[in-house]
Amino acid sequence: MLRAAASADIKPSEMSAAPAAGVEAPAKVEVIASLTGCKPKIRVEAEQLREGVCRTKEVEYVITTFPEEKYTQVWLDSAAVYGGKYLVGERWVVSAKPEMLERFRDKIGGTVRELRGTGPTAGP
């Protein structure tokens, strides 16, 4: 079982959650992939999540969907250990280079979240 990180470790960015179209993509890997311009290769089919990898000329990214919102939160709590920025929607997460997240958000909705890592930091 995954241990949940403190909710203070997850900080939503200042960016709006609504895309230009005013809707959010449904929690389906293939739909999100299509809206972002790729055909995904499914690499995980599990009870608690589905994960697809997209590769375009610009970027490689991962789309993860969940059958229930509680699994999204468990995934985010676990990812908080590593830190980084993610695009998070209702029952889905997109992991990509930070500069791509805003472009994707305009197409699929969601909120860009910055997760703070909990591991050791580099010294001076």
Cβ atoms of residues 32 and 25 within 8 Å: yes
Cβ atoms of residues 97 and 21 within 8 Å: no
Higher pLDDT, 2 or 68: 68
pTM of the model as a whole: 0.77
Phi, psi of 112 (to 5 degrees): -80, 125
pLDDT tens across 46-68, in order? 999 999 999 988 889 999 999 99
Average the pLDDT over 21-35 and give the result: 84
Q: At what angle do helices 29-36 and 98-108 cross, to 10 degrees?
A: 110
Left (φ > 0), alpha (ψ -120 to 50) or beta: where does 90 sit? beta
How many CB atoms are closer than 10 A to CB 83? 13
Residue 5 has pLDDT above 70, yes or no: no
The pLDDT-based confidence of 22 (bands split at 50, 70, 90) is low
